[in-house]
Amino acid sequence: MNAYPGLIISDVSDSTDMAAENVAEATMTTVDKNAASRASLLESIESPQDVRALPREMLPTLAQELRAFILDTVSHTGGHLSSNLGVIELTVALHYAFNTPDDRIIWDVGHQTYAHKALTGRRARLHTLRQKGGLSGFPSRAESEYDAFGTAHSSTSISAALGMAVAAQADGDPRRVVAVIGDGAMSGGMAFEALNNAGAMDANLLVILNDNEMSISRPVGAFHQYLTRILTSPLYNSVRESGKDFLAKVPPMKRFAKRMEEHTKGMLMPSTLFEEFGFFYVGPVDGHDVDTLVKTLVNMRDLKGPRLLHIVTEKGHGYAPAAQNPILYHGVACFDPEEGVVPKTAARPTYTEIFGQWLCDMGSADERLVAITPAMCEGSGLTDFAREFPQRYFDVGIAEQHAVTFAAGLACDGLKPVVAIYSTFLQRAYDQLVHDVVLQNLPVVFAIDRAGIVGADGPTHIGAFDLSFMRCLPHLTIMAPADEAECRAMLTTAFRMETPTAVRYPRGSGPGVTVPSTLETLPVGRGEIRRRAQGREGKKIALLVFGAPLAEALTAATTLDATVANMRFVKPLDTTLIEELASAHDELVTVEENVVMGGAGAAVAEFLAHTGIVKPILHLGLPDHFIEHGAPEALLSQYGLDAAGIVRQVQEWQARVARA
């Protein structure tokens, strides 16, 4: 086990009073909309070098102005709010204590980096946040040298930071490496794998555990800050270092002293777990006391080996509505900070809401149904089910791999698990999907939300690949609903099958089809004709549409005079329908909101080639590169998946075929 003699923090007798004063100054029940424009200190900051040039006593003022600026900006752009307000002081302290960008800071998940962006030369562009052509809502190596690692999925920071620390060691470079990880992300298995590896390697790595699940009462906070100062004081450090040689000569005494220290610290602070991993633990520290944070970070940065600083913060800190309801303010649309976020009811129910209602209805009809989410209860629409059936609802934390294998275990013994998961997060459990569910042919339903373009969250969250990575798996039935009613029917169909199934649906609302309250199924592997060509002059064309693009394809078909087939099933394909369409039409076009490579259209082409049917075929879908952030409507237009884009691409393709 790696242990240190302690850290050095200057004695500041008024640190508790300063912390209380800073919190009081930062707490805002209302916000001046023009605060950002008057933030003269913040306006002087063009880079972290400017932050480091400030007198330390000015940092609380900078944090206060930065908090007002972030709140004002996000109220206009939308985005992640509560998480960003919670790390303002930490962000200021990190850039003050470390020589960024030479020193590396890796932010886990990365949705809390708006203040980081503002201090690293991007303040003037923060109003473009999450908009097409604007700043990403997450760290991006392509965007700034200060973004040391691109993050948006959780629990990756310690692994990446360990890699950078080892690389620095190999290069003989004294640069420091810091990983900032939340207590939620720390629940991910990958974080513990990295902790285990880092402790064994004795790497020079600082992990900051941002614990925002609890608040610090003033007596507890003061005690822990006092304890931290004791453990890191020059006197404690000097005494313990100078005593090492003497104690080494008396092994029994050395072992006794070591055990006494470990037991004492174990009783006083939650350090034992991390120290068993080989980390030197310090904390908890008030994460909103910028002065104490700076002093602690300055004295931890040059120590060797793996260290962990435990800070406690409050999500939404400084803006009362967000602090009181951090879930509501996790991701917000534009709002008036004076009035706060007013939840809006969509004109049409979203696919997520359709799923949530179906889950409750099916749960009432079949007590074998159990629902699983990897920490996405609200986002995946499980709130009502969790309230109505708490004994059959399982939030396993940020642990997608565990979620899938846990579902497999439930299915082995007769339950019918439904895993509610975003397309982008299912990628993280691919081996478990293959090995633990599909290989064993277990009846697990995957309700895959956010399939296709997701908009402002960008390439890290786009659901562009699920059809491709699932289609190659034996036993797995894959469905793509074209509207709300079909989504409900497909979920019912999936649940009543005794093999693995997946229903993938997009973010947001559908075309507005009335959804029946009944639990009806669809014939497996059967599509339908939604429109037949009217027989105009020219070559007859058929559009084979998989899922959400159907509404736009039907609009495009009036211009193209095309037959439109709602294919419904990606696997198994309706091969009878494909043969019928190929026989009656001169040209075929497949349409899907998935990458073209390996997607549903590729499945159609494979079938045609296998049966010897030679027919001109065009595949419309997403291209072979990552889709940047922007409004979904703009992105669908850019990639030719709206009605006008479908018409344009088909006509251009027909012209090329005619010239060939």
| Beta pairing class for 477-479 and 569-571 | antiparallel
- Which residue among the candidates 307, 428, 450, 571 is catalytic per the annotation? 428
50: left (phi over 0), alpha (psi -120 to 50) or beta: alpha
**DSSP codes, 248-312:** HTSHHHHHHHHHHHHHHHHHHSTTHHHHHTTPEEEEEEETT-HHHHHHHHHHHTT--SEEEEEEE
Count of other CB atoms within 10 angstroms of residue 256? 12
Residue 295: is it exposed, middle or buried by C-beta count within 10 angstroms (0-12/13-18/19+)? buried
Handedness of CA 31, 67, 293, 40 (dihedral sign): negative
Give the DSSP H/E element, type plus range, for residue 421: strand 416-422
Nearest residue to 404 via CA among 447, 367, 372: 372
209: left (phi over 0), alpha (psi -120 to 50) or beta: beta
- Which residue among the candidates 275, 314, 400, 486 is catalytic per the annotation? 400
656's tokens: 């090329």
Is residue 589 a contact partner of residue 553, using CB atoms and an 8 Å limit? no
Going through 493-636 in order, the beta strands assigned E by DSSP cover 501-504, 528-531, 541-546, 563-566, 569-571, 587-595, 617-622
- C-alpha count within 13 angstroms, C-beta hemisphere, residue 306: 27
Residue 428 annotated to the active site: yes
Question: Which amino acid is residue 521, in one-letter code?
Answer: T
Residue 532 annotated to the active site: no
Give the integer Cα–Cα distance in Å for 214 and 80: 20
Q: Residue with structure tokens 């020193």?
A: 103
Residue 593 annotated to the active site: no
- Which residue among the candidates 130, 175, 307, 315 is catalytic per the annotation? 315
Give the integer Cα–Cα distance in Å for 267 and 260: 11
User: Mind telling me the catalytic residues?
Assistant: 315, 400, 428
